[in-house]
Homo-oligomer: A and B are copies of this chain.
Amino acid sequence: MADRKRVVILGGGFGGLYAAKALKHAPVDVTVIDRRNYHLFQPLLYQVATGSLSPGEIAAPIRSVLNKQKNTNVLLGEVIDIDPAAKSVKLKDGAVIPYDWLIVATGSQGTYFGHDEWHTWAPGLKSVEDATMIRHKILLAFEAAERTTDPDERCAWLTFVIVGAGATGVELAGALGEIANHTLKNDFRSIQPKDARILVVDGGNRVLSTYPEDLSRRAEHALIKLGARVRLGAVVTAVDENGVTLNTSTGTTHIPSHTVIWAAGVAVTDFGRLLAKRTGAETDKAGHIKVTSDLTIPNYPEIFVVGDLATCIDRNGKPLPGVAQVAMQGGAHAAKVITRRARGDSRPLAPFHYFNKGDLAVIGRARAVANIFGVHLSGLIAWFVWLFVHLLYIVEFQSRLLVAIEWGFLYFTFNRGARLITGKAANKPVGKPEPLEDLGD
């Protein structure tokens, strides 16, 4: 078997993992490289940030997901360079890994549109570390509000600003509304958690702008019912320890808040930029690599780019969104092309076509909006659809029903089990806004 071709997959997210799984029976040796030892179910990260779930409940070790695949090897390491001429990638520890086919699925990271300094006061939500950090920030804000006697300070501690009204922003706001109205209801003596002000800010003209318009409207209604406020057409021009400054059509406003969460803007990873440079690949403004219809880089038929890093024009001429479904289908497509070529079949495969099964966003405890195969749903029924879809996925990866049971339980009790403040945050005095420690790097 020494002459088997080598497939290297960079990234164990949705794209990379689906590619690896689809290569299970292909006559190739597969190596999955990730700097994390786990696959993260990112769409539920906001539940970790708001204390409903523990990180372990939305993550699965990549090794255990793939441990039955005899042709697949998992490598914990960070890729820092690629040599497309020599067909090899280089790891941070110096190791050089050669490939015959490469699938790049390194995903995206947050961006502050040139204002990286805002990160300190407005963390984004991309990793487990981000999520636990935001959880600390939220819980400590209520603690600080309880402690302070200054009414203005109390108001600033009880004001939560979420920048970005996409799925992450809307779901975060909904979960925060539940926390304020139900979870913490009896926990404090000087404050009423339901007095918290939750503000969702976006530069666009509606929430969930990629969804059909009627669902945007319904989502906004659901947020308002939970006590959140939505401010559209508002552009953030400054963020610091005392709050955010917004530019709207009616002028400039400053909103005093010690808890700002950034749910706007994604950019490609540093490795993505490097890949574009090394291969001379064309990118769009945000750095996404323009791929051919079989998801390879022009002139490099052995380098596939799938998921958030790629920009792919669908049949209707629009670029595909950066969602899990696109990454999963892209990974599977790349695997199919590779399998065919590895078997010596040179016939070209039909171009990649994304099949959109629908969009789903949850708002609060048991309310959602959904667009399933073109059918628009909202309220409890949409939430059940959402639950079902996500459970199918989680069961596949984690082989356990735990998350379902936990949610069922949360649903009935309003209790949130994972309300821990750990790490450095736990050792700081309450009542002073704190800049973020960079837990990642």
Which residues from chain A sit less than 8 Å from chain B, CB to CB?
A: 35-38, 51, 53-57, 59-61, 63-64, 67-68, 73-78, 92-93, 128-129, 132, 139-140, 143, 147, 184, 186-189, 398-402, 405-406, 409, 413, 415, 417-424, 426-427, 429-431, 439-441
Contacts of A420 in B (CB 8 A): 37-38, 55-56, 59, 61, 128
Shortest CB-to-CB span from A250 to chain B, Å, is 39
> Closest residue of chain B to A139, judged by CB?
B37
The answer, among B140, B188, B440, for a CB contact under 8 Å with A63, is B188
19 A-B interface contacts by CB (under 8 A): A35-B426, A38-B419, A51-B56, A54-B418, A61-B187, A61-B419, A64-B415, A64-B419, A75-B147, A76-B140, A77-B429, A93-B429, A129-B422, A400-B415, A401-B409, A402-B402, A402-B417, A423-B423, A426-B440
Contacts of A51 in B (CB 8 A): 56
Contacts of A61 in B (CB 8 A): 187, 419-420
The answer, among B60, B400, B431, for a CB contact under 8 Å with A413, is B400
Max chain B Cβ within 10 angstroms of own Cβ: one of A37, A139, A406: A37
| Interface pair B35/A427, CB less than 8 Å apart | yes
Known: A56-B419, A77-B429, A93-B431. 9 other contacts (CB 8 A): A35-B427, A37-B421, A56-B418, A63-B184, A75-B147, A77-B430, A93-B430, A129-B422, A405-B405
| Interface pair B92/A421, CB less than 8 Å apart | no
Contacts of A36 in B (CB 8 A): 421, 426
* Total copies of this chain within the assembly: 2
| Interface pair A427/B400, CB less than 8 Å apart | no
| Interface pair A186/B67, CB less than 8 Å apart | yes
Evaluate whether A406 and B402 lie within 8 angstroms (CB atoms) in the complex, with A139-B37, A423-B439 already known: yes
> Closest residue of chain B to A65, judged by CB?
B187
CA A194 to CA B20, docked complex, whole Å: 26
Shortest CB-to-CB span from A30 to chain B, Å, is 11
> Closest residue of chain B to A187, judged by CB?
B63
Shortest CB-to-CB span from A57 to chain B, Å, is 7
8 nearest A-B pairs in the assembled complex, by CB-CB distance: A56-B418, A54-B54, A63-B187, A54-B56, A67-B186, A93-B429, A61-B419, A427-B441
Shortest CB-to-CB span from A400 to chain B, Å, is 6
Contacts of A419 in B (CB 8 A): 37-38, 56, 61, 64
| Interface pair A64/B187, CB less than 8 Å apart | yes
| Interface pair A57/B128, CB less than 8 Å apart | no
The answer, among B38, B132, B186, for a CB contact under 8 Å with A421, is B38
| Interface pair A402/B400, CB less than 8 Å apart | no
The answer, among B68, B147, B188, B400, for a CB contact under 8 Å with A409, is B400
